[in-house]
Amino acid sequence: MRQGLDRRRSLKLMRWGGLAFVALDICSHALMARGDAPSALMQAWAPIAPWLSVLTTLILALLLWRATRELVTVRADNDVEAARQQEVLDALQIGVVLYDREDRLALSNRDFRQLYQNFAKALVPGRTFEQLLQVVVDGGGIAEAQADPRAWIAQRLAQHRQPGPPVLRQMPDGRWRRIIEQRLGDGSLLAHSVDVTELMERERELQTLNARLDALNTELAQLSETDALTGLANRRQFDRRLSQEWTRAQRHGIPLALLILDVDHFKPFNDHLGHPAGDSCLREVAALLRGSAHRPADLVARVGGEEFAILLPHQDGHDADVVARRCLEAMASAAIAHGHSPVAPHVTLSIGVVHVGRVDGGLEAAALVAAADAALYRAKREGRNRCVHAAAL
């Protein structure tokens, strides 16, 4: 800083000194040229004038040499400073580029040039941003521009002229950059870009992990509401769906039906044939019930050891009886052998059926289950292998 001030003062002194000697030389020649000057002055000045002229010339030459030397030094210092600034820019791990107020390339750093190393010959200071953009797009350097290059260039130029939020762009080398452009006070535009490829990869990995976590949570939720043996809904899911359907029926005044089913004399079957045979029997019964209540809205659940339930939204008593008869017929057709049943030589069901035409605001869903249970026990008392329909609620 001090050195710069001394140089400016030295140049100023040389400038004024030179002007003084030039003025003195002019006066000397003027006096010599005037014929009416006093003879005494002329006589005194005559011997000095030639030497003074030579001295003036020498001093002017010295001043010119000194000024030239100072100018060369200043330019060298400027070159050193510019080189130092460029070295600092090149050391940055981000891409930096500056366009002047006429949108011409003013400077760039190594990281920026490496992004477009295939177009190095085009990255010449003085070229406009539009010219550079056209070269890169024409050379296939921007994948997203290839579908409609003209439209993409127009859009990119609009963004460049009025910089907005940061944008993500995939570079020619396949890596991703976060680009920020901003106008400076003199109208020039500074742009810098940061490599966010690893961040993008981590984000994709995180999204993948989140998707897997969501899938696992969904699977866990399904498992928590699914009977492991039969694959049917379990008691938890049945209670949740019953509450939902009861609320819906109450709100919209639509019918709702419920079947409670029990495998007749299952304990003797299990005791004599063993648990594996008992499990196989329950799985087969579950499949038969699922095939008998096949609407998407119907819910077939295993709610106890050998007890099942079928929830029939938007179905009245007649519809429920049809499903119950279908279940009994399916069991008869399957004819799962049961040599220890006093009812039939095959496995049979007892079914309690109930429906509600219009849900009363004072009733609870538990009333529907209680009525179906009561009908089920009636079916058992009346000989099993049948369905009994409770009075409508």
Q: Report the catalytic residues.
A: 306
Long-range contacts formed by 124-130: CB under 8 A, 24+ apart: 128/99, 128/102, 128/103, 128/104, 129/99, 129/103, 129/104, 129/105, 129/157, 129/160, 129/189, 130/103, 130/157
CA distance 132 to 141: 11
> 217: which residues sit within 8 A by CB, 6+ positions away?
none
CA distance 275 to 84: 86
Cβ burial of 201 (10 Å; 0-12, 13-18, 19+) is: exposed
Q: How far is CA 71 from CA 10, 13, 76, 83, 243, in A?
A: 12, 15, 8, 18, 93
Cβ burial of 362 (10 Å; 0-12, 13-18, 19+) is: exposed
Long-range contacts formed by 277-282: CB under 8 A, 24+ apart: 279/229, 281/336, 281/347, 282/229, 282/230, 282/306
Do 336 and 371 meet the contact criterion of CB atoms below 8 Å apart? no
Tokens found for residue 270? 């299990």
Q: Where are the beta strands (DSSP E) in the chain?
A: 95-99, 105-108, 167-170, 176-183, 189-195, 256-263, 299-302, 307-313, 349-356, 386-389
